[in-house]
């Protein structure tokens, strides 16, 4: 069992209510691409694809030579597959959870005690950070005062008596509705009406006046530090985060909300929308690889774009285990650590142990697009 160090995975799907339904969902498209026998239900939401060894949704190893084994069990038996630095730094655990998200209606206003990075496939919209802090800074002066002022404002709003904020929200919605056909961008009118239609009477609708509205285009990403407030609105994206599922919510959700904890834990750092964008760096050793390397040790994401003119390509070895997702294209993969050829197609998820190379014979006429999550210490 130990000698097979590169193998495909069957990954868990999360059917959260906010996800896109059926084959409108990028998650569902990837699932059926990777497994043509998979059954996709038209009216069922396919919100997230979890690729990793998280105990709530541990990926299954899809290799007949390896019995019914999960990735987490495999790593526990053979922690050396992580790479020596990763194994020692993260106590023998895969330190990241790799995801695909397909968002149809807004997720809750939330924060995590860890870090995450999101990149769109193809476009993604979100609320993130603290836009209002910039305006408060003009009157509050020093940064510390600005943060305190923003925290007081946001906390007061989130703790407002329900009748008061519902009345005010309805008045604002009425005003924006009456101005149909006019430019309401100054008060984020279109976004307000969208969120109110999804979550009528929800205090979270007012969050758009505190957070930045960010639209990510292909190739762009955003990095969210620990306790950074955010709410994903619509679209499909790749996400990588430190391996945790701890989420504190407060608005735009029917789930349990913990307003006081969220308001206490958030960062209130003034920042414009442009500061939330996280651009990749070209890999100096591979012209087809763009590296998203955030300022945290837990994870790095690489975008691999192999052009149509290239038919032989090697996924380079790293001193870290990695998870490779094929988003576009077809290839036959060979590796000394796989023992047999592996067919790669849209939706294939591959686990690559540390220090192992994977050679691709590209068959797609339009090239290949892949994302690789790893840990570069």
For residue 165, which of 108, 209, 228 has the smallest C-alpha distance? Answer: 209
Q: What SS3 class is residue 317?
A: coil
Containing H/E element for 132? Answer: helix 132-140
Measure the CA–CA gap between 267 and 147, rounded to whole angstroms: 8
Containing H/E element for 49? Answer: strand 48-51
372 catalytic per annotation: no
Q: What SS3 class is residue 175?
A: helix
Which residue among 115, 125, 249, 303 is the active-site one? 249
Measure the CA–CA gap between 52 and 69, rounded to whole angstroms: 13
Q: What is the pLDDT of residue 1?
A: 47
Query: C-alpha distances in angstroms, 22 versus 15, 57, 100, 263?
Result: 11, 21, 15, 36
Place of tokens 């774009």: 305
List residues bridging with 370 in a β-sheet.
304, 326
List residues bridging with 70 in a β-sheet.
60
Containing H/E element for 189? Answer: helix 189-198
Tens of pLDDT, residue by residue, the chain (377 residues): 446 899 999 999 999 999 999 999 999 999 999 999 999 999 999 999 999 999 999 999 998 778 779 999 999 999 999 999 999 999 999 999 999 999 999 988 887 777 778 887 777 888 886 665 455 555 545 677 878 888 899 899 989 999 999 999 999 999 999 988 888 888 899 999 999 999 999 999 998 998 889 999 998 999 988 888 888 999 999 999 998 656 767 677 777 677 888 888 888 887 888 888 888 999 999 999 999 999 999 999 999 999 999 999 999 999 999 999 999 999 999 999 987 899 999 999 999 999 999 999 999 899 999 999 999 99
Place of tokens 């003034």: 270
Tokens found for residue 266 = 């958030």
On the question of a cis peptide bond just before residue 122, with omega within 30 degrees of 0, the verdict is yes
The two beta strands, 342-344 and 368-374, are: unpaired
Query: C-alpha distances in angstroms, 68 versus 14, 59, 62, 165?
Result: 21, 11, 9, 53
Tokens found for residue 276 = 């939330």
> Order of strands, edge to edge, in the sheet holding 322-328?
60-61, 6-10, 349-352, 322-328, 368-374, 300-306, 289-292, 281-282
């Amino acid at each position: 069992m130990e000698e097979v160090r590169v193998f495909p995975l069957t990954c868990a799907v999360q059917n959260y209510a906010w996800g896109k339904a059926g084959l409108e969902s990028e998650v569902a498209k990837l699932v059926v691409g990777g497994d043509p026998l998979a059954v996709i239900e038209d009216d069922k939401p396919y919100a997230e694809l979890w690729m990793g060894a998280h105990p709530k949704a541990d990926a299954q190893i899809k290799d007949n030579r390896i019995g019914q084994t999960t990735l987490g069990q495999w790593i526990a038996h053979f922690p050396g597959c992580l790479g020596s630095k990763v194994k020692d730094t993260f106590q023998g655990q895969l330190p990241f959870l790799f995801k695909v998200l397909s968002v149809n209606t807004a997720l809750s206003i939330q924060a995590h005690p860890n870090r995450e990075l999101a990149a769109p496939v193809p476009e993604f919209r979100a609320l993130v950070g603290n836009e209002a802090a910039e305006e408060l800074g003009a009157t509050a002066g020093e940064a510390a005062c600005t943060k305190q002022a923003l925290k007081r404002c946001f906390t007061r709003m989130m703790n407002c008596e329900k009748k008061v904020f519902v009345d005010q929200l309805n008045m604002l919605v009425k005003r924006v509705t009456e101005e149909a056909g006019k430019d309401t961008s100054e008060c984020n009118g279109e976004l307000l009406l969208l969120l109110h239609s999804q979550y009528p009477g929800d205090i979270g609708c007012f969050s758009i006046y505190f957070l930045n509205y960010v639209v990510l285009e292909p190739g762009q990403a955003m990095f969210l530090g620990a306790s950074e407030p955010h709410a994903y609105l619509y679209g499909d994206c790749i996400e990588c985060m430190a391996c945790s599922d701890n989420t504190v919510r407060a608005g735009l959700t029917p789930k349990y909300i913990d307003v006081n904890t969220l308001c206490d834990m958030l960062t209130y750092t003034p920042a414009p929308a442009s500061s939330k964008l996280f651009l990749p760096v070209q890999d100096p050793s591979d012209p087809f690889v763009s590296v998203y390397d955030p300022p945290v040790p837990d994870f790095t994401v690489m975008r691999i774009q192999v052009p149509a003119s290239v038919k032989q390509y090697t996924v380079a070895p790293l001193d870290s285990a990695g998870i490779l997702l094929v988003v576009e294209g077809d290839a036959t993969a060979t590796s000394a650590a796989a023992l047999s050829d592996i067919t790669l197609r849209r939706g294939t998820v591959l686990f690559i142990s540390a220090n192992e190379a994977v050679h691709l014979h590209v068959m797609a006429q339009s090239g290949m697009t892949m994302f690789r999550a790893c840990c570069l210490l």
